[in-house]
Amino acid sequence: MLIREQVRTLLAAAAPPGWNVQKGNGRALPEPSVCPCIVVAIPNESVSRGAQRKRREPRLTVSAFIAETVGGDDQCDDASIWIEAALDADPTLGGVCQDCTHVESSVTPYPGGERPIWELSLTYHLRVS
């Protein structure tokens, strides 16, 4: 919970005007009326036992949702720039982890409805112990 809240705080401070930053709530896609928005989640965490202690490596997912008829992929690229910059500037996320490493990005369009939704998903590996 501390990690998610810290990431939300960092991204809310870096977000351009009009962006909503929230924690994951289990919904697959947000309503177009709340876009553009960022959803912060930790969907899984690998745990291994070393000689001295457990090693926890959660996987952080930062998803940006943009509701646009045209140019959604370009807006995903723009969002990636400021999100990555905000998280790369503090790899310990304010001291709540030992390291935060960006490992994957993807862009997925969801056509249909009055306004298609584009999803930018950034995945980070975290080292916490």
- pLDDT at position 125 is 93
Would residue 1 count as lying in a domain? no
Q: The CATH number of the domain where 38 resides is what? A: 3.30.70.1700
- pLDDT at position 95 is 92
Q: What is the mean pLDDT of the chain?
A: 88
Domain that holds residue 115: 22-127
pLDDT category of residue 27 using cuts at 50, 70 and 90: low
pTM here is 0.87
Would residue 108 count as lying in a domain? yes
Would residue 15 count as lying in a domain? no
- pLDDT at position 46 is 76
Give how far Cα 2 sits from Cα of 38, 42, 64, 80, Å: 17, 11, 20, 23
Would residue 2 count as lying in a domain? no
**Total domains in the fold of the chain:** 1
Would residue 46 count as lying in a domain? yes
Note whether 104 and 84 are within 8 A (CB): no
Write out pLDDT tens, residues 52-102. Answer: 777 778 899 999 999 987 888 999 999 999 999 999 999 999 999 999 999
Would residue 68 count as lying in a domain? yes
d(C-alpha 20, C-alpha 105), whole Å = 20
